[in-house]
Structure 1
Amino acid sequence: MVRGAAWLALLSASLLGGCSSQPPKQQEDLCLIFAEKPEWHTVAEDVSKRWGTPAFVPMAMMYQESSFRADARPPMRYFLGIIPYGRPSTAYGYAQVKDETWADYQRETGNNWSNRDNFDDALDFMGWYTSKTQKVNGISKWDAYNQYLNYHEGWGGFSRGSHLQKAWLLPVARKVDERSRRYSMQYKGCKDSLSSGWF
């Protein structure tokens, strides 16, 4: 009887752990995202305190990069439409970070055990990145439009104006900025409730 109860508890914990990496059901409203995943709100608050980036900016960027999928990757490329020959980059996880950029983050922060498919680590990475974007290129941490362009092109690419040569990219950055503004307005209305645990 006791053994059966222990097994049931272990199974329940495993199932709940598996569910925790699932994307939020309602992604258009930041309040609903954080209400569904209160642990994400705690992480977002911690990242904001550590790096000074408001929660709604990296969350809007993360939506664009992965739709909050832990195992997101660029699509596989196929030769003649049938023979797979690799992905266009090593980008992976919630924040779609390339191997070399993740290694830079780990080295600079000492977060050597971090993983790109862990939400906490991915959001902390985005806080680190937006903070460095401000230092390197002078972009406000509240400026989701130019933060996203830096995120996509890299600091050197942005400073060289590589984004200006990509007509498709600028509308994407505008969408990120619009989502960030919408998330910001939503968050203003529920932040206190979320923090108190009432929401």
Structure 2
Amino acid sequence: MHPIRPLLDLGRRIMINGPSNAGKSTLADSIARKLGITVVHLDRLSHEEHGNWVPRGAEAFQALHDAAIAGEAWVMDGNYSRLMPQRYARATGIVVIDDHLVRRYLRYFHRSLFQSQRIGGLESGRDSVKWEMIRWIWKTRRQGKYEAIARQTGLPMVICRNHAELQALYMEWDLERRH
């Protein structure tokens, strides 16, 4: 891994991108607490409250998204590619994280089977194993997609391509994880 850019270089509107189950929500929570800014989990905006992953309508989601990015300081995790251009236009920095496909599957099964609540999870509580998510993790297995997109923005960024690099980031930025 290259030297890690200081957290403050990313400003106060930070996007965290990467494939499903790479650790985006936990990192967003840790950064938000460190900087004392709002954390926005896009999964919560994209799905109905207490709806067990029932999607909101596209217009409702976009309205919530656009209101969130209008804020002066936030750290936001999630992709939702259709709305990325608006986010990039407001962001001051980007963190892209990735991890090996097997680790992402293990993380998904662990949180679905053993965690009653998780950071960034829906208000309805415990996740359950869903074939749609198993297929989605497989579909998003190509590493490097989010890095390539982020590099085109010219924004300050940090890239973590695997678990070891993500651990180094937590240490370098002196971040604490909530479990």
Q: Shorter-chain TM-score category? A: under 0.3
Larger RCO: Structure 1 or Structure 2 (Cα < 8 Å, ≥ 6 residues apart)?
2
Which structure's residues are more often helix, by fraction?
A: 1
Normalized against structure 1, the TM-score is what? 0.26
Normalized against structure 2, the TM-score is what? 0.28
Which structure's residues are more often strand, by fraction?
A: 2
